[in-house]
Amino acid sequence: PAPQATACAHPGDIALTYNEGPSDVTAKVLNGLKAGQAKASFFVNATWLYTQQYAMILQRAYNDGHLIGMTYRAPGDTTDGMTDEQIRADVTNSAKVIETLIGVAPKYIRLHYSQPEDTRLENIVRDMGYTLIYYNLDTQDYNFKSNPKGIAQLYQTTFEKQLDTYDSKGSFISVQYDIPDTGSWQAIYDTINQIDTSGYKMVRLDGCLNDKEPYKESATSKKAVGDKHSFGSPGYKEGQ
């Protein structure tokens, strides 16, 4: 399998990532992050961006200073019937939709889970200049729709286990689903408080990975670029 980022460079850092939005609850997530003065990273599904409401929410997320990546899901959940060139074109089209809305193209990509692992797809997107992002903390927020407080408790348990096992802080990339069917949007305040209480610092993925160029110049380019919010720039914000 192709290399994927699964944790942050510095112990004590945690990057919250949200998959598969924008959705009807993204604005609530953004409101919660704003209230907590925290930044996160959103892996957006370009399919939803043809709806103006969701396109505008993506622009708000970007303008609020959050990092924008993309999720990619092959048509019919398999690339078996696709040539390499068809895959490249499909991925590029998704990235173009995002680029049109925020002015830079995503570099961080999360592939829809497939079994067996689609190593051809992984290698193609890496060759296109993307960085594959995985995670090492699954909030399982889809199990907590009726008990959103359980999500913050899961963070607490994870941090405590880390301390018990290694006597030190870890570094985490956590995954939440930015959709109404999970408890994540309701859990945002408790989650930020728990991260704070446990002595961890919330970072965007570019800060997590020490990456000053977390975007691509364009959907068709391999050249990595930074922007006004990216790690190392005066506009970069972290913490909570």
Task: Supply the mean pLDDT for the chain.
Answer: 90
CB 64 within 8 A of CB 35: no
Q: What is the pLDDT of residues 46-78, one digit of tens each?
A: 999 999 999 999 999 999 999 999 999 988 888
**pLDDT of 1 above 60:** no
CB 63 within 8 A of CB 104: no
pLDDT, average across residues 157-178: 89
Q: What is the pLDDT of residues 74-100, one digit of tens each?
A: 888 888 899 999 999 999 999 999 999
pLDDT on residue 189: 87
Say which CATH superfamily domain 13-225 falls into.
Glycoside hydrolase/deacetylase (3.20.20.370)
Q: How wide is the angle at C-alpha 93 spanned by C-alphas 208 and 52, nearest 5°?
A: 85
pLDDT on residue 87: 96
State the DSSP H helix or E strand holding residue 108, giving kind and residue range, or none if neither. Answer: strand 108-111
For residue 89, the SS3 value is: helix
Q: How many CA atoms lie within 13 A of 63 on its CB side?
A: 8
Q: List alpha helices for the chain, DSSP H.
A: 26-35, 52-63, 84-102, 119-127, 149-166, 184-197, 205-208
The 10 Å Cβ neighbour count of residue 187 is 26
* 214 alpha carbon, distance to own chain's centre: 12
**pLDDT range class, residue 224, cuts 50, 70, 90:** very high
CB 14 within 8 A of CB 171: yes
CB 133 within 8 A of CB 5: yes
pLDDT on residue 75: 86
**pLDDT of 165 above 70:** yes
pLDDT on residue 66: 97
Q: Where are the domains of the chain?
A: 13-225
CB 73 within 8 A of CB 93: no
d(CA 70, CA 98): 8
**pLDDT range class, residue 109, cuts 50, 70, 90:** very high
**pLDDT of 155 above 70:** yes
**pLDDT of 183 above 70:** no
**pLDDT of 145 above 80:** no
